[in-house]
Amino acid sequence: MASTRDGVNWPRAQALAAAERASYIARNPESARLAGQAAQHLLFGVPMHWMNDWSTPFALTVSEASGARFRDTDGHEYIDFCLGDTGAMFGHAPQPVAQAIARQATRGYTAMLPSEDAAPVAAELARRFGLPYWQFALSASDANRFVLRWLRAATGRGKVLVFNGCYHGTVDDVFVDLVDGVPTQRDSLLGQVHKLTDHTVVVEFNDLPALEAALKQGDIACVLAEPVMTNIGMVLPQPGYWEAAQQLIKRHGSLLVIDETHTISSGPGGYAQAHGMQPDALVVGKPIGGGIPCAVYGFTEELARRVEQAKRSAPPGHSGVGTTLSANMFAMAAMRANLEQVMTEDAYRHMFALAAQLAEGLRAVIARHKLPWCVTQIGARTEFQFTPTAPQNGTQAQAILDGDLEQIIHLYLLNRGLLITPFHNMLLVCPATAESDVTRLLHAFEDCIRQLLFG
C-alpha cells in the first residue's frame, strides 16, 4: 500500500530532524529565554495553546513584521510564506492599513455606534462579492456561528450540513467527522456537552449522491462549505461538482453558505465570484482588515428579507448574534483601507503570477527527485501533498497527512529563514513577496528533499 513516506529514507529523516532541532535551539537563545519566562504565567507557556504545535522545540518569538518578512527576537529575518495562516495574506502591516489605523488611533476605537466607514465598507463588500447586505464580526469563527444562527432562524430548520474534514473555526457544530462512514463527534473537542450529531449532518466532499440523500430529508437549514477544502490539505471540487450541488441545495429548500476565509486567495471577490457560484450567504474573516481582528458576512436580497423577518417576529431580547466590539471603529477603518487600497486587482495579479511560479517550481523539484507527491494551487495559495494524485475528499486527505514528515521539512526551512504554514504544507504569497523569495524557497526545499533522500 502507498505510504506518505514512499521515497523518503526515514532513518535519515529522523537524524535530520534531530540535527534541525539542535540547530534551532542553538540559533535562538533569546526566544528560549522568553519561552522560559512565558512558562511562568502563560498556560502551556504560550498565549494560545496551539502555538506549541509548530515544528520548533519552543516558540519562536516575533519582534516585528512588515510586508513578506518578519524578524525574530534573536535578530534573524524570515521570508513569510505562512502569513499568519491567511491573516496577513496581503502582507504584514500594509501601509494603507497602517496609516488608517494611525489616523484612527486618536479618533476613538469603539462606541457601539456606526462609524463613517461603515456604509462605504458595506458598499464595497456588495460590489466585490455580489451580495447586497452585510454584517460584521470579530473573527471568521464568530461570523460562521452568527450565520448558522440567522439561517436556522430564517428557515425554521435545525440542521446544518458540512463536509467531512472541514474546519470553519471554533464553531462547535462542524466538529463532526465521518468515521468509517458514521457521523461521529470529534473526540478532541473539549467541554462540549451537547450531542452535535443531532443537528449536524456530514457527508464527503465531491459526493453528490450523499449530498442529495441528506438534503432530501428536508430538515437542513444550510450547507456550510469552503468552495475548495483547505484545512485538511487542499481538496478541489471535481469538475461540475458545485454546479450540481447548488442545484440540489436549491431544489431541496436549503441554503448555501460559502466560507471564503481561506479561498479569498482566489481573487478579489473570492472563489465564488471567480467561478460563478451563487451562494445565499458568504463569510470572510482573517485578512479582510489586513490582520486586524474582524470578519464580514453577506446575504442575498431574499435571504436578508427572511433574516430580518425572523428577527422582527422574535420576542424582544438577546438574539444570540453579536459581540460588543464587533464593527468597532478601528476595524472599520482597517477594512476600508484594506479593501480600497490593498486587496486590489493589481495585488492579486502579482500574487497569482508568483504562486504559479512557486507551484511549478515545487512540481519540478518533486519530479526531479521522483517523489510520489503532488502540488495544488488556488490563486495565491499553494500546497504540496504526500500523494501522487490529489485527494478528492476529507477521508483521502486525512490519510495522506504526515505530521512528523511535515515538521521535519518545516523546521529545515525555518532554520534557513523561511516560514511555511504549520499543520499542513501550505504556502501563501503576498503583494510584497518577490520572485527572489520564491527562488530561495525552492532552493531550500530542494536541499531539504536531497537530505531526506540521500542524507
Ligand X SMILES: Cc1ncc(COP(=O)(O)O)c(C=O)c1O
Are the C-beta atoms of residues 260 and 284 closer than 8 Å to each other? yes
Between the alpha carbon of residue 317 and those of residues 182, 311, 314, the distances in Å are: 38, 10, 9
The nearer residue to ligand X, 263 or 396, going by C-beta atoms, is 263
Q: Restricting to residues 148-207, which ones interact with ligand X according to CB under 6 A?
A: 167-169
**Cβ at position 144, least distance to ligand X in Å:** 6
C-alpha span between 42 and 28 (Å, rounded): 20
Binding mask 238-267 for ligand X (x = CB under 6 A): ---------------------x-xx-----
Which residue, 90 or 167, has its beta carbon nearer to ligand X? 167
Contacts of 237-244 with CB under 8 Å at 24 or more apart are 237/205, 237/206, 238/206, 238/392, 241/206, 241/208, 242/275, 242/277, 244/208
Q: From the CB of 169, what's the least distance to ligand X, in Å?
A: 3
Q: Which is nearer to ligand X, 212 or 241 (CB)?
A: 241
Which lies closer to ligand X via its Cβ, residue 361 or residue 391? 391
The distance of closest approach from Cβ of residue 369 to ligand X in the complex, given in angstroms and rounded to an integer, is 31
Question: Whole-number minimum distance, CB 285 to ligand X, in Å?
Answer: 5
Nearest Cα residue to 382 out of 402, 397, 360: 360
Candidates 199, 286, 416, 424: give the one binding ligand X (CB under 6 A).
Answer: 286
Please name which of 299, 296, 284 lies closest in space to residue 331, comparing C-alpha atoms: 296
Residue 27 CA from chain centroid, whole number: 30
For ligand X (CB under 6 A), the number of binding residues is 14
- Using CB positions, name the residue nearest to ligand X: 169
Looking at beta carbons only, is 286 or 336 nearer to ligand X?
A: 286
Map the footprint of ligand X across residues 120-139, applying CB under 6 A: 139
CB of 142 to ligand X, least distance (A): 7
Q: Which is nearer to ligand X, 192 or 309 (CB)?
A: 192
Task: Tell me the torsion sign for CA atoms 437, 291, 300, 208.
Answer: positive
Of 55, 155, 231, 421, the one binding ligand X by CB under 6 A: 231
CB of 168 to ligand X, least distance (A): 4
Q: Which residues contact 25 (CB under 8 A, 6 or more apart)?
A: 32, 57, 58
Nearer to ligand X, 167 or 412 (CB): 167
Q: Least distance (Å) from ligand X to the CB of residue 308?
A: 25
Neighbours of 312 (CB within 10 A): 7
C-alpha cell at 410: 518545516
> Is residue 424 within the footprint of ligand X (CB under 6 A)?
no
C-beta closer to ligand X: residue 306 or 410: 410
Min dist CB 263 to ligand X, Å, is 8
Cell numbers standing for residue 251: 431544489
The answer for 222, left when phi > 0, alpha when psi is -120 to 50, beta otherwise, is beta
Using CB atoms within 10 Å of the CB of residue 275, give its burial: 0 to 12 exposed, 13 to 18 middle, 19+ buried.
middle
Considering beta carbons, is residue 282 or 366 the nearer one to ligand X? 282
Nearer of residues 284 and 449 to ligand X, judged by Cβ: 284
Can you tell me which of 56, 135, 141, 407 binds ligand X, judged by CB under 6 A? Answer: 141
Nearer to ligand X, 169 or 431 (CB): 169
Beta bridge partners of 376: 383
Residue 155 CB, shortest distance to ligand X, in Å, is 21
- Using the minimum distance from each CB to ligand X, give the nearer residue, 207 or 259: 259
Q: How far is the CB of 9 from ligand X (least distance, A)?
A: 33
Query: Least distance in Å: CB of 259 to ligand X?
Result: 5
x/- string (CB under 6 A) for ligand X, residues 328-347? --------------------
CB of 135 to ligand X, least distance (A): 15
Task: Report 207-226 residues binding ligand X (CB under 6 A).
Answer: 226
Residues that bind ligand X in the complex, under the rule CB under 6 A: 139-141, 144, 167-169, 226, 231, 259, 261-262, 285-286
